[in-house]
């Protein structure tokens, strides 16, 4: 399972603890059991902590969960709304930065297009989360990216990968800014205009990113080989 939350950090942590506790009680974990554990956790938190709150409505704590789970050879994404969880068919966002993230995802991807490329989906997610952090004061300070693979393993992106993805979009949009500025320039026409736009902006940004990613992957492969060798060496 991968769990993300919005709202009070203390309530998110409590939710994770309760879900883990409920799941650990089940010997054979089925998707219905996961859903029951989520709704049971939400009911406990709302009953014990949120519904008992007395004070201004704007200070009332809230909690929303976005949960990716794998069981029964299937993967399901759940989104909570108060005590209820619903299964999501495509993708979903939560939190105050959600509308901005949703706009970016819809702008940068064709319908279903990001499903064809995991690396592309990760890039879009990294940029969208960075934008939410930059423009929404209530969004978190740092990005954490996890991928739940079909075989049930969970991949955690390194700080280096996250930073590289964020920098790529900074370079790309800087290039786009330059392209917008030269668009109305009558001194550049036809093929000359197109060559300038490509060679001076987007091509450079994309090549730099690809080179950084290649170096990062090679470095990770060397580290993985070294760790495997250390484990296999008799002590």
**Domain's final residue, options 95, 119, 142:** 95
153 domain residue, yes or no = no
Same domain flag for 165 and 86: no
CB 29 within 8 A of CB 71: yes
28 domain residue, yes or no = yes
- The range of the structural domain enclosing residue 176 comes to 159-232
Decide: helix, strand or coil at residue 188.
coil
Same domain flag for 18 and 90: yes
Q: What integer is the mean pLDDT of 120-145?
A: 86
Asked which of 73-77, 151-155, 206-210 is least confident by mean pLDDT, the reply is 206-210
pTM, rounded to two decimals: 0.72
- What interhelical angle do 9-24 and 31-45 show, nearest 10? 140
* Angle value at C-alpha 125, between 82 and 225, nearest 5 degrees: 115
Q: What integer is the mean pLDDT of 65-90?
A: 90
* Residue 97: DSSP 8-state: T
- Spell out the residues 6+ positions from residue 41 whose beta carbon is closer than 8 angstroms to its own: 15, 18, 19, 22
Q: Return the pLDDT at 183.
A: 58
């Amino acid at each position: 399972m991968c769990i993300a939350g919005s709202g009070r950090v203390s309530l998110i942590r409590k939710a994770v603890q309760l879900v883990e506790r409920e799941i650990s009680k089940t010997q054979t974990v089925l998707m219905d059991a996961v859903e029951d554990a989520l709704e049971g956790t939400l009911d406990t938190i709302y009953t014990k902590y949120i519904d008992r709150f007395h004070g201004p409505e704007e200070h009332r704590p809230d909690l929303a969960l976005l949960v990716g789970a794998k069981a029964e050879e299937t993967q399901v994404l759940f989104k909570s709304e108060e005590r209820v969880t619903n299964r999501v068919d495509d993708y979903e966002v939560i939190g105050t930065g959600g509308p901005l993230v949703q706009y970016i995802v819809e702008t940068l991807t064709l319908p279903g297009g990001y499903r064809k490329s995991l690396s592309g989906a990760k890039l879009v997610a990294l940029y969208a989360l960075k934008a939410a952090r930059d423009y929404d004061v209530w969004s978190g300070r740092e990005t954490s990216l996890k991928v739940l693979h079909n075989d049930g393993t969970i991949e955690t992106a390194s700080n280096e990968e996250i930073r590289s993805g964020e920098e790529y979009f900074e370079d790309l949009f800087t290039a786009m800014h330059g392209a917008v500025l030269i668009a109305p320039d009558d001194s550049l026409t036809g093929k000359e205009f197109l060559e300038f736009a490509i060679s001076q902006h987007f091509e450079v940004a994309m090549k730099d990113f690809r080179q950084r990613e290649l170096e990062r992957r090679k470095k990770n492969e060397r580290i993985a080989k070294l760790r495997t060798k250390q484990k296999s060496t008799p002590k």
